[in-house]
Chain A
Amino acid sequence: MNMRPADLPKAPTRTTCPYCGVGCGVLAQPDHLGGATIAGDTEHPSNFGRLCSKGSALGETLSLNGRLLHPEIGAKRASWDEALDATAEGFRRTLETHGPEAIAIYLSGQLLTEDYYAANKLFKGFLGSANVDTNSRLCMSSSVAGHKRAFGADTVPGTYRDLEIADLLVFVGSNAAWCHPVLYQRMLAAKAARGAKIVVIDPRGTATAEEADLHLPLAGGSDAALFCGLLVHLADKGRLDQAYVAGHTQGFDAALARAREIAPTVSATSAACGLPPADVAAFFELFAATERVVTLYSQGVNQAAQGTDKVGAIINCHLATGRIGREGMGPFSLTGQPNAMGGREVGGLANQLAAHMGFEPASIDRVRRFWDAPRMAQADGLKAVDMFDAIGRGQIKALWVMGTNPAVSVPRADAVRAALKRLDHFVVSENVASNDTLGAGAHIRLPAAAWGEKDGTVTNSERRISRQRPFLAPPGQTRPDWWAVAQVAKRLGFGEAFGWRTPGEVFREHAALSAFENDGTRDFDIGALADLDTHDYDQLKPIQWPARRGMARTETRFFAKGGFYTANGRANFVEVAPLAPSASTDDRFPFRLNTGRIRDQWHTMTRTGKSQRLSSHLVEPFVEIHPDDATAEGLKDGGFARVTTTHGDVVLRVRAEPGQRRGALFAPIHWNDETSSNGRVGALVHAAVDPFSGQPDAKATPAAVAPARFARQGFALTRGALGALDPATWWARATVPHGFGLLFATDHEVTLSEIFPDLEPGDEIVDYVDAGRGVARSAVFRDGALAACLFVAPDRQESAWTFLRAKLGEGLTEGQVRSLLLAGRASDGAACGPLVCACHGVPKGVIETAIRGGAADAAAVGATTKAGTNCGSCLPEIRRMLVAARALATA
């Protein structure tokens, strides 16, 4: 903490990427100008030096633009003391008046384990409230529930190594090519080297599906039926591991009987899943015949009304074949967030207590003794959706949100935002000064240290704990979240129990709790780390748990020989409930809306949105729809659609996408009120939740689409501020090199002075007007460089946007006729277009030129242009371009 520039390290700092659950090692070399050069850590076992587009662009996300740098009470700047006093006082008063049911804290998979631990301890042990939930509820709580149901503990049995030595990789509801690119590239490399087969089970034709040997575009939500069918097939073909089933499991017969009810045959399975029988049979045969098989799953499985059953159906097949915990096999949950696992380890979910213990009386007592806690929560608290419902009802009156943006991400986001406004006491710990959640009326704003400044640990999808280390001084008055929690605890009279001085002290306590009265009864045990001194903690190398005291630290898998954490040590087969969609479509809402991520953005864009490279690939909020559906609904590719559900409506750019199933829509989750006018897709999502995990079904909200039309469209680019537009204007905001861009569509006039409020008298303005075509373009030059520009036309102007977004601040060359910039492209027809390779900044046009120039495969394109040679997440797109070029050549 409080590093001064002079103390900043001279050598690169080893730290961990703050995005997905792969947990890549990062080398950060501060440039002593507030930024840093970023490289992959070749010694980190998650990535061995690779980084994806997002990780590579971390250096572009470090600016202090938009950061919350000091505490605020009301809208006024306050001292930390005042803010902490007010925070503590609000919770004390609410507790005294309304009891522990009236307080809650909502955490984030972005938090460090130490932050999570401190918050969980305060609420569950000292304030008596289990209303401690997290955005991980939206992400992988069905996996947690599925693991606990089957294994008796939230255990990921396998390791990343298994993904490289498997002979069959089955991706279920996972677009790993975009969402876990580095791990995905490791698997592709293994496929190339060893001939592993890849099967992708996903309703959408994703980038991952494009690389698969077999893609099963099943009907959304029918995954459980597919794996029931697989279980039946394995049983009927004699592919079961009878010894394993008999020796280490229970409930197989009932599970199989239920599976037979749901999917008795290949043809019944294909009917239930909407798949060709031959493809289903091929998958079943491949699975049956391949011993080393890993089934990877992600949000397509978890974010479902039957998410926990889907996990169960997958695990059933691995238990039945004994393919678990051995090299190259097992079910594998890919977590979305950098520290979802760490949050689970400390118990930062409403239905966990701490350290992989639940609310059993013995556990409550054990944790109470360990913490010396005065006011233990006694039962599950409210999970995210219920928590915000309770806020809306006025039942929860005091809330602390830490490092997440529920007003965007929680289902029925508009209702959530309205609920937040009802709170008596609303505290937000944040990096940014403005987001939808802060805008919902946070009373107290606590400035949190961000990635690069924070110091602590995270755990990745393979149970590997890595250090996030600081390499920048915390700016302004930002502080770590664990410190803020401890300060509030102190003000509530718990100073002794929260007397940590360093994150290492928090971590040691956390590690000690994991080992406390454990003796092998709980999977999560990192007792070996409970005695790290400060130096050891600082130097801690990535380490996989379990790390029991006195146990050799080796790569560990679980359950090859049973040893489950159920009462009798046997795994439970799960009786999958009959398929029932969470909500039916009808005439009014005939589509199902699926939501998800895109390649270059993360969550609500507060970090990735700062990077101009990451803001290039897909710039606007969009909805994907099958071309035939688009035609039937009167939608045009590149036009606009109003997407409506019972809970709200948004207006999105239409992408007619043949890879989309008929009747299904897909929209990304990232855009919010900070980055778009009508892009809050979370506002559409219904609140149906999985009965076991409470995880919302974000993949199947009944929805309607209708064309939306605007008289004119355009974009603005500026190095300065963007003015407010007419409220009926559709817009999306994006970071561009040296400034910001706004893409818009409107029925109103857009004037230069309105959109660029900080025009100066000395600015030189260049205009192009073709009134007959409804075209108006302006460029503003200041000090000889392009300071802003505005393009308006009846239609979209993608190529002009991609040409000009890179031109802000660019000085004019001698003899250049600057008005020609308003042509919106280079005079020589120079290649441009949207960035395909975000890592190396290679636009589509350059790749097309390389292909025309004879680059025959992705490797050749990479050799010519560098595209696809870093994270590889653009390789599917490059291969698609190669295929298209070949088709054109042979046509």
Chain B
Amino acid sequence: MDRERLVVVGAGMASLRLLEELKAACPGRYAVTVIGAEPEPAYNRVLLSSLLAGEANDEDLAFRDRAWYAANGYRLLTGAPAQAIDPSTRRVTLKDGRAFAYDRLVLATGSEAIRLPLPGAHLSQVLVFRDRCDAMRLKTLGVPGARAVVIGGGLLGLEAAYGLVKLGCAVTVVHLMGRLMERQLDARGAATLRRTLEAKGVAFALGAQSKAIVGETKVEGLELGSGEVLPADLIVMACGVRPNAALGRGAGLAANRGLLVDDAMRTSDPRIFALGECAEHRGVVYGLVAPAYEQAKTLARALAGDDAAYAGTLLSTNLKVSGVAVFSAGAIEAEAGDETIVLSDPGHGCYRKLIVRDDRLKGAILVGEASDALWYLDLIASGAPLGPLRDDLAFGRGFALAA
């Protein structure tokens, strides 16, 4: 009997992890075709800012070469964006006209950067920062001495800003909110991060609305809501991402922000699955790699025929933001009755805040030094009583467990 055909649309990090998990869970069970829009196999998108900053090269970004896919029986198509899905005939059509039949289909289409509809946003010096292509364009424009404005003080914007500073650009980050990374950090944590980045040469305009891009044929500046114009030779929009759910929606799959999936990562069509940033699980669209990896593991087991359920990932951020360790998990702000433990060293750019409720860790923010991040994450996830750990909690695993 012929093997079942599994088509995976998307060749990013979630997709690759699924292939690896499949290899472990049920090697050879499916005839797998992987269809990617980008011109190359999955690479480490997390390192794009390092690539931009010149702190990482292509080799550092690479995961698996094409030979690996071939050796494991995975058929890989790159530079091949998908056009449509027909669930009734179980076929995926590519923009180039090719079509692939599937028994099971996985959508791992990721997300795309949001472009603000500002006047002048069409100018060619207005960029986003999402894939390797974007990084290359930024690198081309971000020549030493160039003035760059980054719109967006979230993770992506800060990554872009840092990369541009390393290239020698004069960078200002414009952020609508009064503090950076407001969904991950509290005010002091954000301030700590800001000071550290300022020390690295990034300027900030916080609480600033972007009104229009100034310039006729090329970018000359960004006009703010206050009327102030920040001179700029290039502008990066890093205002967030939007799930690439159009393909699934077009196939009639149930969707909200992302494609709705159950705990087995199954969409409203039982033969179609979704994972990663295009999927919405229990109302959450994850924008980070760790949940995608967890989802990949679950999905691989489901495809292998096992009972597997993804229960969601505790929302956490554990990243090097522009060379600064930042970790955030659970509650950001204390609620009534919560106790807050703060350890702060602004001079060294270190900040830790822990929120304790009923002797359990409910939230943790670490800026500057986050080597114990996973320990805190486990404590939050397990909800275990802290007991004697409490008094040394802020000093990390080494202290608390040596007590």
Question: Could you list which residues of chain A lie within 8 angstroms of chain B, going by C-beta atoms?
Answer: 764-773, 781, 817-820, 822-823, 825, 827-829
Residues B339 and A817 in contact, CB atoms below 8 Å apart: no
Partner among B339, B344, B345, B392 whose Cβ is within 8 Å of the Cβ of A772:
B339
**Min CB–CB distance B401 → chain A (angstroms):** 10
**Min CB–CB distance B187 → chain A (angstroms):** 15
**Min CB–CB distance A270 → chain B (angstroms):** 49
| Given A766-B347, A773-B391, A823-B395: 10 more A-B contacts, CB < 8 Å | A764-B348, A770-B340, A771-B340, A772-B339, A817-B350, A818-B348, A819-B350, A823-B399, A828-B402, A829-B402
List residues 304-360 of chain B with CB under 8 A from any CB of chain A: 339-348, 350, 352, 356
Given contacts A820-B395, A827-B399, A781 and B347 within 8 Å (CB-CB): yes
Contact with A along B121-155 (1 / 0, CB 8 A): 00000000000000000000000000000000000
Partner among A767, A772, A773, A827 whose Cβ is within 8 Å of the Cβ of B343:
A767
Q: Name the residue on A nearest B397 (C-beta).
A: A827
Q: Contacts of B402 on A, CB cut-off 8 Å?
A: 827-829
Q: Contacts of B390 on A, CB cut-off 8 Å?
A: 773
**Min CB–CB distance B203 → chain A (angstroms):** 23
Interface residue? B369 (CB, 8 A): yes
Q: Contacts of B350 on A, CB cut-off 8 Å?
A: 817, 819
Partner among B340, B344, B392 whose Cβ is within 8 Å of the Cβ of A823:
B392
Given contacts A823-B392, A823-B395, A829-B402, A768 and B347 within 8 Å (CB-CB): no
Q: Give the complex CA separation of A880 and B36 in angstroms.
A: 75
Q: Name the residue on B nearest A775 (C-beta).
A: B391
Give me 27 A-to-B residue pairs in the complex whose CB atoms sit less than 8 angstroms apart, sorted by A's number: A764-B345, A765-B346, A765-B347, A768-B342, A768-B343, A769-B341, A769-B342, A769-B343, A770-B340, A770-B391, A773-B339, A773-B391, A817-B348, A817-B369, A819-B344, A819-B345, A819-B350, A819-B352, A820-B396, A820-B399, A823-B392, A823-B395, A825-B399, A827-B402, A828-B398, A829-B402, A829-B403
Q: Give the complex CA separation of A765 and B347 in angstroms.
A: 7
**Min CB–CB distance B249 → chain A (angstroms):** 48
Q: Name the residue on A nearest B342 (C-beta).
A: A769
SS class, residues of chain B in contact with chain A: mixed
SS class, residues of chain A in contact with chain B: mixed
Residues B343 and A819 in contact, CB atoms below 8 Å apart: yes
Q: Contacts of A772 on B, CB cut-off 8 Å?
A: 339-341, 356
Q: Contacts of B343 on A, CB cut-off 8 Å?
A: 766-769, 819, 822
**Min CB–CB distance B325 → chain A (angstroms):** 11
List residues 209-245 of chain B with CB under 8 A from any CB of chain A: none
Q: Give the complex CA separation of A773 and B391 in angstroms.
A: 9
What are the 3 closest A-B residue pairs judged by CB atoms, nearest first? A764-B347, A772-B339, A823-B395
Q: Give the complex CA separation of A1 and B399 in angstroms.
A: 56
Q: Contacts of B348 on A, CB cut-off 8 Å?
A: 764, 766, 817-819
Interface residue? B394 (CB, 8 A): yes
Q: Contacts of B345 on A, CB cut-off 8 Å?
A: 764, 766-767, 818-819
Q: Give the complex CA separation of A817 and B339 in angstroms.
A: 24
Residues A767 and B347 in contact, CB atoms below 8 Å apart: no
Q: Contacts of A767 on B, CB cut-off 8 Å?
A: 342-345
Q: Give the complex CA separation of A823 and B339 in angstroms.
A: 18
Contact with A along B366-378 (1 / 0, CB 8 A): 0001000000000
**Min CB–CB distance B103 → chain A (angstroms):** 53
Q: Give the complex CA separation of A850 and B347 in angstroms.
A: 39
Q: Name the residue on A nearest B351 (C-beta).
A: A819
Q: Give the complex CA separation of A77 and B319 in angstroms.
A: 64
Contact with A along B66-99 (1 / 0, CB 8 A): 0000000000000000000000000000000000
Residues B339 and A768 in contact, CB atoms below 8 Å apart: no
Q: Give the complex CA separation of A290 and B334 in angstroms.
A: 77
**Min CB–CB distance B6 → chain A (angstroms):** 47
Residues A827 and B395 in contact, CB atoms below 8 Å apart: yes
Residues A764 and B340 in contact, CB atoms below 8 Å apart: no
List residues 156-174 of chain B with CB under 8 A from any CB of chain A: none
**Min CB–CB distance A333 → chain B (angstroms):** 51
Interface centre among A764, A765, A768 (most CB of B within 10 A): A768
Q: Give the complex CA separation of A827 and B392 in angstroms.
A: 10
Q: Name the residue on B nearest A768 (C-beta).
A: B343
Q: Give the complex CA separation of A768 and B339 in angstroms.
A: 13
Interface centre among A764, A765, A767, A770 (most CB of B within 10 A): A770
Q: Give the complex CA separation of A773 and B341 in angstroms.
A: 9
Q: Give the complex CA separation of A828 and B394 in angstroms.
A: 16
Q: Name the residue on A nearest B337 (C-beta).
A: A772
Q: Give the complex CA separation of A825 and B352 in angstroms.
A: 18
Q: Contacts of B392 on A, CB cut-off 8 Å?
A: 823
**Min CB–CB distance B259 → chain A (angstroms):** 43
**Min CB–CB distance A798 → chain B (angstroms):** 14
**Min CB–CB distance B149 → chain A (angstroms):** 32
Residues B344 and A766 in contact, CB atoms below 8 Å apart: yes
Q: Name the residue on B nearest A764 (C-beta).
A: B347
Interface centre among B339, B347, B390 (most CB of A within 10 A): B347
Q: Give the complex CA separation of A241 and B261 in angstroms.
A: 109
Q: Name the residue on A nearest B353 (C-beta).
A: A769
Q: Name the residue on A nearest B403 (C-beta).
A: A829
Given contacts A771-B340, A829-B402, A764 and B346 within 8 Å (CB-CB): yes
**Min CB–CB distance B173 → chain A (angstroms):** 25
Q: Name the residue on B nearest A793 (C-beta).
A: B391
Q: Name the residue on B nearest A777 (C-beta).
A: B343
Q: Give the complex CA separation of A817 and B352 in angstroms.
A: 12
Q: Contacts of A829 on B, CB cut-off 8 Å?
A: 402-403
Q: Name the residue on A nearest B371 (C-beta).
A: A817
**Min CB–CB distance B184 → chain A (angstroms):** 21
**Min CB–CB distance A483 → chain B (angstroms):** 53
Interface centre among B391, B395, B403 (most CB of A within 10 A): B395
Given contacts A781-B347, A827-B402, A770 and B396 within 8 Å (CB-CB): no
Q: Give the complex CA separation of A767 and B343 in angstroms.
A: 6
Q: Contacts of B403 on A, CB cut-off 8 Å?
A: 829
Q: Name the residue on A nearest B392 (C-beta).
A: A823
**Min CB–CB distance A273 → chain B (angstroms):** 48
Residues B399 and A770 in contact, CB atoms below 8 Å apart: no
Q: Give the complex CA separation of A766 and B352 in angstroms.
A: 11
Q: Contacts of A822 on B, CB cut-off 8 Å?
A: 343, 395
**Min CB–CB distance A794 → chain B (angstroms):** 12
Q: Contacts of A818 on B, CB cut-off 8 Å?
A: 345, 348
List residues 280-306 of chain B with CB under 8 A from any CB of chain A: none
Q: Give the complex CA separation of A767 and B369 in angstroms.
A: 15
**Min CB–CB distance B393 → chain A (angstroms):** 9
**Min CB–CB distance B359 → chain A (angstroms):** 11
Q: Contacts of A771 on B, CB cut-off 8 Å?
A: 339-340
Q: Name the residue on B nearest A769 (C-beta).
A: B342
Interface centre among B340, B348, B390 (most CB of A within 10 A): B348
**Min CB–CB distance B128 → chain A (angstroms):** 36
**Min CB–CB distance A507 → chain B (angstroms):** 61
Q: Give the complex CA separation of A329 and B356 in angstroms.
A: 70
**Min CB–CB distance A849 → chain B (angstroms):** 14
List residues 92-119 of chain B with CB under 8 A from any CB of chain A: none
Interface centre among A764, A818, A819, A828 (most CB of B within 10 A): A819
Q: Give the complex CA separation of A818 and B399 in angstroms.
A: 14
Q: Contacts of A781 on B, CB cut-off 8 Å?
A: 347
Q: Give the complex CA separation of A475 and B191 in angstroms.
A: 52
Q: Give the complex CA separation of A769 and B402 in angstroms.
A: 21
**Min CB–CB distance B260 → chain A (angstroms):** 41
Q: Contacts of B391 on A, CB cut-off 8 Å?
A: 770, 773
Q: Contacts of B398 on A, CB cut-off 8 Å?
A: 827-828
